[in-house]
């Protein structure tokens, strides 16, 4: 929810309190002056509420209610100006406040120009299944033919790889991420040699060890990192999935965070298109540090050429 608000009002990590207040106030009032009463709740969520604000004396339940209501009102009002696509990822790690916001938005979808798109694993439970405007799309593992095509693109067509491909398909059960990570592990451990799309075996298939789970794959890759790069990963996992490179100036280990480019070769850290930040390559990485991760949220303007479709 906080990530969603920051993106909506275009707040940057380098912005000071005065700048954040001005951006929130300007964005809300430009949208609709009638939303002025939502501003204190939004400022409080961003931790820039003035000390003398009456909002501070409200009890926690009132503040929570006004915060959720404020974000909902702003989003619904924005959808009257332009259709919106609202994306929430990884709901299986959702926090209670974001869940409350989603539940509130779900009730308002029939009358809003808003497409709410979410993804989650089977263990996540919600109460939207009975809604007539709710559609679920199940993403199944790749069938053997498609998994073989993916491995052909990753490994190449060397005849000596056939037994390995069949082993990987059986072990990963067609999970494409698991397939890719398993191939990376085999390259890093020297089982495969060559270049992407043109690998060959350096040892016999029966003698190699293929991790049994995605978590085991990532754990093994992290364990192979040099000590300094492990420290970088541990620091990044505490900060979150996306790490502003400017934070290297605020940490006690500037050389570690400034060396972002080093662990990118292991693909556990990836530089974002914007050079001011880097991103961990998978949600399991911060979870290895025992830190729960709220879902990522993105707010996107909906091109008018798409028309109006509701989920």
pLDDT in tens, 185-208: 888 888 899 999 999 999 877 666
CA distance linking residue 190 with residue 173, whole number of Å: 23
Kindly state the tokens that stand for 93: 């790690």
pLDDT confidence band for 286 (50 / 70 / 90):
very low
**If residue 200 lies in a helix (H) or strand (E), which one and from where to where?**
strand 198-201
- pLDDT tens, position by position, 203-221: 877 666 666 676 777 777 7
pLDDT confidence band for 231 (50 / 70 / 90):
confident
pTM of the full structure: 0.63
CA distance linking residue 181 with residue 216, whole number of Å: 10
- For residue 293, is it left (φ>0), alpha (ψ between -120 and 50) or beta? beta
The DSSP 8-state label assigned to residue 244 in this structure reads E
Kindly state the tokens that stand for 143: 């069938």
Quick one: pLDDT at residue 266? 45
Helices (H) and strands (E) in the chain, counts: 12, 8
Q: Where are the domains of the chain?
A: 2-138, 144-217, 226-287
Kindly state the tokens that stand for 244: 């502003």
Kindly state the tokens that stand for 170: 């059986």
Give the end-to-end CA distance of the chain in Å, rounded to a whole number.
20
Q: Is the dihedral of CA 182, 199, 191, 149 positive or negative?
A: positive
Quick one: pLDDT at residue 288? 46
- pLDDT tens, position by position, 101-122: 999 999 999 999 999 999 998 8
CA distance linking residue 77 with residue 79, whole number of Å: 5
CA distance linking residue 305 with residue 83, whole number of Å: 10
Per-residue pLDDT at 284 exceeds 50: no
Per-residue pLDDT at 310 exceeds 50: no
Per the CB < 8 A criterion, the answer to whether 269 and 284 are in contact is no
> 165-199: string of b/e by CB count within 10 Å (b at 16+)?
beebbeebebbeebbbbbbbbbbeeebbeeeeeeb
């Amino acid at each position: 929810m906080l990530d969603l608000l920051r993106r909506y009002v275009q707040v940057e990590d380098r912005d000071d309190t005065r700048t954040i207040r001005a951006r929130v106030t300007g964005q809300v009032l430009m949208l609709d002056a009638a939303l002025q009463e939502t501003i204190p709740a939004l400022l409080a969520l961003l931790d820039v509420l003035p000390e003398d604000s009456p909002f501070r004396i409200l009890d926690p339940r009132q503040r929570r209610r006004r915060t959720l209501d404020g974000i909902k009102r702003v989003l619904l009002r924005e959808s009257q100006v332009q259709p919106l696509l609202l994306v929430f990822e990884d709901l299986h790690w959702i926090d209670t406040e974001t869940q409350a916001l989603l539940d509130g938005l779900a009730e308002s979808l029939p009358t809003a120009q808003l497409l709410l798109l979410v993804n989650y694993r089977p263990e996540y439970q919600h109460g939207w299944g009975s809604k007539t405007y709710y559609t679920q799309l199940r993403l199944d593992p790749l069938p053997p033919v498609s998994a073989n095509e993916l491995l052909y693109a990753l490994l190449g067509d060397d005849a000596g790889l056939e037994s390995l491909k069949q082993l990987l398909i059986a072990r990963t059960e067609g999970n494409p991420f698991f397939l890719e990570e398993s191939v990376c592990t085999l390259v890093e451990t020297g089982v495969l040699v060559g270049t992407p799309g043109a690998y060959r075996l350096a040892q016999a298939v029966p003698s190699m060890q293929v991790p049994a789970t995605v978590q085991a794959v990532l754990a093994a890759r992290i364990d192979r990192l040099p000590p300094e790069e492990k420290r970088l990963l541990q620091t990044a996992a505490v900060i979150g999935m996306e790490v502003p490179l400017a934070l290297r100036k605020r940490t006690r280990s500037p050389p570690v965070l400034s060396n972002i480019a080093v662990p990118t070769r292991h693909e556990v850290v990836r530089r974002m298109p914007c050079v001011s930040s880097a991103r961990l390559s998978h949600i399991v990485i911060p979870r290895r540090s025992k830190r729960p991760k709220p879902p990522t949220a993105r707010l996107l303007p909906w091109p008018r050429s798409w028309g109006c479709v509701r989920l």
